Amino acid sequence: MKMRGGFPCPILSVPALVVGSGAAGLNAALSLARSRGADSVLLVTEGMNMGTSRNTGSDKQTYYKQATGTDTADSPRAMAEDYFACGAMHGDLALTEALGSLRGFFRLVSLGVPFPADRWGEYTGYRTDHDPHRRATSCGPLTSKKMTEALEGAVRREGVPILDGVRVYRVLTDGGRAAGIVGVSEAKVSADNPAGLIAVLAGAVVWATGGPSSVYAASVYPESQTCGLGAPLLAGASASNLTESQYGIASAAFRWNLSGSYQQILPRYVSLSLDGTAREFLPAALGDEKTALVSQFQKGYEWPFDPSKIGGASRSSEVDIAVFREIRAGRRVFLDFRANPGLIEREGLTPDTVGEEAYEYLAKSRALGNTPVERLRQMNEKAYALYLSHGIDLETEPLEIHVAAQHLNGGLSCDAWYESPTLRGLYPVGECGGVFGIRRPGGSALNSTQVGSARAAEKIAHENRPAPALDDTLLGELADAAEIASLLDSENGDAIEAILEDRHRAGLRHDASAAFLRSPDGVKALLRETAESVDRFPDRRRAKDFCALRELLVTYDTLVTRLAMLSAIDAYIGDGGKSRGSFLIEGTDGIDTAHAASVLETALTRTDGHLTAQNRFVPVRPIPESDNWFETIYNEYDTGARFADMTAGTPES
């Protein structure tokens, strides 16, 4: 620990710093500790149990990996090609995600994550979104929670030091490289340090803070999860595909994905008007009762909203549209697991009423019960118990739902070692890494947490950079970062409730124009409003106490992130972009195909006090053709030459 120049906070130094304690951050810390020792790494987190990995899931939360079932032929190359075919994804990242898949999966198995295997040891799989090879597996609704628990146990057994309760709001830079962070911690608050400042200098920074949860109002992200993309964007890290968020039907009060079993057991979709009148609305919305049931069943494994699933062979995303229209008309929408849809109620659950595919699936799952909740409990008792554990009994009450944001496919740009090409030394891993493109197979985000973090740790361990020296340049950065203490104003500052309400209202405006239904004019208007809010933030906002200050920093990070996201959406629309992925653009016809061979890169710059975004489309990098002659690989591995050619992602200067 160092103190210099009267700087009011502790200054720590460490070779490698991990920010975030989800599945990606914990695996990075574990990998670094095992390769370089526990004293070479420090894990900093806003809250060990706050992130998405700990608090989200679905009916049987999916982990996507290379197929291991004895009846399914697969290979890393085939998996990479399926990733790449989703569009707007760099081929080298598709290949690394595939090649690292089994390594990450079996490491989790070795740590005790209970992925199911049969009596002979076969890890079979099932079909998930955009998945032709039954690569999906699951250990229940809480797969990612079990992953983090196992990883945290291993991290603690390794003796990795952990700083909990630190909100990081600034990435330090030194000569164009990430050099550490500045955060606030209530534990550090004192008379001399009223903002609770703490700084860490590091030779490498693994950024594992998850997705931009606070940008949206309707969200499946846990309320404890906060936005963390703004700080690296301000430090010079570029982003990729910020246009590509993923949306789907979720429960509203308790935030949870309603995919898989929750749809396949065919509950009744009901809307409730202001006068209390209830009606089943899907048949009218989709044309007839059987089409509604078939589409509802398909929604189970086509859960993300997808404009290509409207009016075609599959119409599953018309379910999302129907739900949204009911809510926009002022009605509340529910899934009622107690009652069958009208056609099943009148004519029974048969191949004629629900379709051959749905009936066969339910029959094979031994889930032909008389009511939806009975079928759910026959098929997936854990999915029922999950809601019961949160005080919601699907046997006795309907479940209010909406269409909500669930995941950002884009994020901070990275090369094939998951290092930022514009801010070297910063490694964005997990959801905050801009790995995926227009689509991604369901559960591939969990695969990415393990692959990206392991590769980042491997590169960091190879370089083995010490923390930078605390010179005048870094002291100047630290002094500038410490100015946030001036936002504290016990008499005139906002209380935490007002800050949270302001953020929620901004999220509602974002959802109205820039969520899964996007208005070109609305996006432009909100972009202007957001840019003004960012520029005027230091002069207009104050916090009453430390807790309010921490939330004010989250709000600023959210505004910066929203600015980058809206700028990317506006640039995409301005280039003639149409509906694709998980969103519809108003006033356009058809599905976009023109932009599938490019990645949209976004970078922030400050000019004359104004924060602006620059966007450009770059061609996707192809899947590399590997020279896998063993003797060549053997020698490159020993000499470290394999790290030398991983600069393909560096943008042109």
pLDDT at 550: 97
Q: List, for residues 337-348, the tens digit of each pLDDT value.
A: 999 999 999 999
| Mean of pLDDT values over 502-529 | 97
Do residues 5 and 475 touch, judged by C-beta distance below 8 A? yes
**Residue 549 counted as domain residue:** yes
Going by the DSSP 8-state scheme, the letter that residue 536 receives in this structure is H
Answer whether residue 24 shows pLDDT above 70. Answer: yes
Residue-number span of the structural domain to which 257 is assigned = 249-405
For residue 128, the model assigns a pLDDT of 81
Answer whether residue 459 is part of any domain. no
Statement to judge: residues 496 and 401 lie in one domain? no
Q: What is the pLDDT of residue 608?
A: 87
Grade residue 80 by pLDDT with cuts at 50, 70 and 90: very high
Lowest mean pLDDT, pick from 29-43, 65-79, 156-170, 227-241? 65-79
**Which of the 8 DSSP states describes residue 604?**
E
Which two structure tokens, joined as six digits, stand for 173? 């830079």
- 394 and 489 share one domain: no
Selected residue with higher pLDDT from 72 and 413: 413
- What's the CA gap between 602 and 147, in Å, rounded? 32
What are the pLDDT digits (tens) for 289-344? 999 999 999 999 899 999 999 999 999 999 999 999 999 999 999 999 999 999 99
Domain match, 508 and 367 both: no
Among 94, 447, 44, CA closest to 208: 44
> Does residue 387 belong to any structural domain of this protein?
yes
**Number of other CB atoms surrounding residue 73 within 10 Å:** 9
Buried b (16+ CB within 10 A) or exposed e, 395-424: eeebbbbbbbbbbbbbbbbbbbbbbbbbbb
Calculate what percentage of the chain has a pLDDT beyond 70. 98
Give, rounded to a whole angstrom, the gap between the first and last alpha carbons of the chain. Answer: 37
Nearest to 245 by CA among 487, 507, 636: 507
The mean per-residue pLDDT over the stretch 560-575 comes to 98
The answer to whether the beta carbons of residues 250 and 620 sit under 8 Å apart is: no
Residue 343 lies in a domain: yes
Return the half-sphere exposure (C-beta side, CA atoms, 13 A cut-off) of residue 580.
23
Residues 391 and 494 in one domain: no
C-alpha–C-alpha distance, residues 604 and 114, integer Å: 43
d(CA 551, CA 224): 12
Collapsing DSSP to helix, strand or coil, 546 comes out as helix
Rounded to an integer, the average pLDDT of 219-247 is 95
Q: What confidence category does residue 488 fall into, taking pLDDT thresholds of 50, 70 and 90?
A: very high
Instruction: Tell me the mean pLDDT in the region 559-575.
Output: 98
Residue-wise pLDDT for 612-632, tens only, equals 999 999 999 999 998 888 988
Evaluate whether residue 446 is within a structural domain.
no
Q: Which of the 8 DSSP states describes residue 259? A: -
- Mean pLDDT, the chain, integer: 94
Q: Are residues 391 and 522 in the same domain?
A: no
DSSP helix/strand/coil, 290:
helix
Please say whether the beta carbons of 592 and 579 come within 8 A: yes
C-alpha distance from residue 3 to each of 180, 478, 605 (Å): 15, 11, 31
The tens digit of pLDDT for each residue in 281-290 reads: 999 999 999 9
Q: What is the pLDDT of residues 146-203, one digit of tens each?
A: 999 999 999 999 999 999 999 999 999 999 999 999 999 999 999 999 999 999 999 9
CA distances from 225 to 45, 142, 288, 382, 402 (A): 11, 16, 40, 24, 19
Cα–Cα distances in Å, from 175 out to 229, 232, 583?
21, 15, 39
pLDDT band at 640 (very low <50, low <70, confident <90, very high): confident
Residue 650 clears pLDDT 70, i.e. is over it: no
What is residue 77's three-state secondary structure? Answer: helix
Q: Is residue 116 part of a domain?
A: no
Supply φ then ψ for residue 422, to 5 degrees: -110, -10
Domain end (from 405, 440, 466): 405
| Per-residue confidence band for 13, with pLDDT thresholds at 50, 70 and 90 | very high
Distance in angstroms (rounded) separating the CA atoms of residues 300 and 376: 12
Are both 397 and 503 inside the same structural domain?
A: no
Q: Is residue 217 part of a domain?
A: no
Say whether pLDDT at 647 is over 70: no
Query: Which whole number is the average pLDDT over 12-39?
Result: 97
> Could you give the number of structural domains in the chain?
2
3-state SS assignment for residue 276: coil
pLDDT of residue 648: 43
Q: Is the pLDDT of residue 653 over 50?
A: no
* CA distances (Å), origin 418, targets 157, 206, 238, 320, 427: 26, 9, 13, 34, 5
pLDDT of 4 strictly over 70? no
319 phi and psi angles, rounded to 5 deg = -65, -45
Contact between residue 100 and residue 450 where contact means Cβ atoms under 8 Å apart: yes
CA distances from 342 to 258, 353, 458, 549 (A): 21, 10, 57, 52
Among the candidates 405, 423, 458, a domain finishes at 405
Residue 238 lies in a domain: no
State how far the Cα of 311 lies from the Cα of 298, in Å rounded to an integer: 14
CB within 8 Å of 546: residues ≥ 6 apart? 184, 186, 189, 194, 195, 196, 488
Supply the pLDDT for residue 258: 96
Which residue, 366, 388, 405, sits at the end of a domain? 405
Q: What pLDDT is recorded for position 109?
A: 98
Question: 588 exposed, middle or buried (CB, 10 Å; 0-12, 13-18, 19+)?
Answer: middle
**441 alpha carbon, distance to own chain's centre:** 13
Residue 553 tokens read as: 């920093």
Residues 263 and 364 in one domain: yes
Q: CB atoms < 10 A from the CB of 274, how many?
A: 8
Q: Domain with 563 in it: what CATH number?
A: 1.20.58.100
